[in-house]
Chains A and B, each alone.
Chain A
Amino acid sequence: MKGYVVLENGEVFEGTLHTDHKEVHGEIVFFTGMSGYQEVLSDPSFKGQMVVFTYPLIGNYGINEVDFESMNPQVNALLVSEVSNEGFHYEARSSLLTYCEKHSIPLLSGVDTRAIVKRIREQGDMRAIITTDPTNLSFDQYTPLGQQEVVPMVSSAKIETYGNGDHHIVMVDFGYKRSILDVLLKQGCKVTIVPYHSSFQVIESLQPDGVLYTNGPGNPKQLQGILPTIKEVAKAYPTMGICLGHQLLALAFGADTEKLTFGHRGANQPVIDLATNKVYITSQNHSYVVKENSLEGTDFEAKFININDRSVEGLIHKKYPVLTVQFHPEAHPGPSDSEQLFYTFIEMLRNKGREKVYA
């Protein structure tokens, strides 16, 4: 039936709503990748967000059982120009349309996605409401994503161990993407996943060789409480941070973060390693970024920056073996050009000593 998306700036865009939701709120963001909608809708980092796909034909290869990034759908809603009513692929188990209906994921199709992208580009990420009746709506009753505690909704509740390799990595889970676990297991590591709020003692008792702070949704500053633990862990063990993990490690050592006018969300963001001049095409999904000028006195140094807007894309610590990246070396969706950063992290575990191991 007829549906509308109402942006925070008051503009209304019409489309067809394929689920029977009356009103759905969320932060509206756009994703420029041309494939990977199944990975996106199941990526916990999108919790609380409505994703606008810039590519106009979504759902062509349906939904399969192997490409999910977490056990269930995470996005608040999907907005597309055209949705395919069937999945044409040997792995497809259902169409995207029936999957959304079954899991009641609000799906608004026939929307002028390029127009919405231009509004977000000019006025920044904003809130939006999908509804069947666009008259007299109010945003006041909804808390903006930046002030919501969303990590608890996606972080695992209990400790679980996978694999039995010779390096034991504890993964502090803020809503991890399954492909991070996959790449560590593929490298022959044992991985123990712990809830985001686990204490230093809990982690210490697992005798890890290294700790990884995962990706996750929302504003890093919503997690001020666990920063001391993060710092304590990072000083004790070789540590890697991805996306939200990267931002938390920076905050833990005293750096500052800020919100980009609109986030980097796509599979084609160019990043350069300042030490080796090597350029990676990376997959990204973040609204917040570590402020370069706040690194003074944290002993963190910018190792990666975004070639287009020079924003910080990754840090190394001068004293402790800590490597953080804002982008997603585990890919899915997107290119895996920077996957070798996991091998660098595992190299760090092998040289337990404190000296830095990478150029």
Chain B
Amino acid sequence: MWRTNLAVAFVVLGTLGVYTAVANMIPQVQSDVPEELVLSADVTPEELVAAGEILFAGSGGGCTACHGLGTRAPDLLGSIGSTCETRESGKSCKDYLYEALVEPGAYVVEGFQAIMPDMSRTLSDAQIWSLVAFLESQGGEVTVTGADLAASDDGPPAMAPTDPVTNGDVAPADIDAAALLQSLGCAACHAYGAAPGGVGPAISAMAGLDLDYLRRSIIDPAADTATGFEALAGTMPLTFGEQLTDAELEALVTYLAGGAE
């Protein structure tokens, strides 16, 4: 009898153990709670864009769960800032994007279904404006200001968010390009130092490349695709053109063409 009991216990515990182990072996994705966004009335466009980008990527996929696949919803990265003004006649880019977030049924892009949820149910007004700013930055000019936030109902409490990039008036030669490359997260995809890369060409392979080609590859990655990486086309973020100052871009291009040394 005890033998039977032991065998039954072994089967039950073994089955539970296998299921638990399999579930712990697969990639672990936790859905974090979005942090509350607090922006001041004198918030800069860069600060808004940075906050919006974090929201766009979101925990567990964020907006990219639909806007990154191309079939569920339009791809927005890199282009929406330049096309938004033409979507609805008489509406500015800012107004259109705001409307698309809080009243998504008002205008639906042709070829897509009205599946976009009303984001005002889940996001604060500050978060919505920061998303508008981020989307404007995708190929267009950021026109959202602190005044837009101040005009909204919940108002802008006092506090500034993250430190913006502060290389504005610095000459390219004075910029630490290696540190910039690290801070931009290039090594997450491009082999660099100990980072294995594999999603894009290795940093070392860019040595000696034409400066114009490198410049274009950074600010408009869709223009050219490196040989051998065709299947990964579209993976490179389209935001560096907005994110980098002219001086930073030049410092980076020179650094890459020089073999990253």
A binds B: no
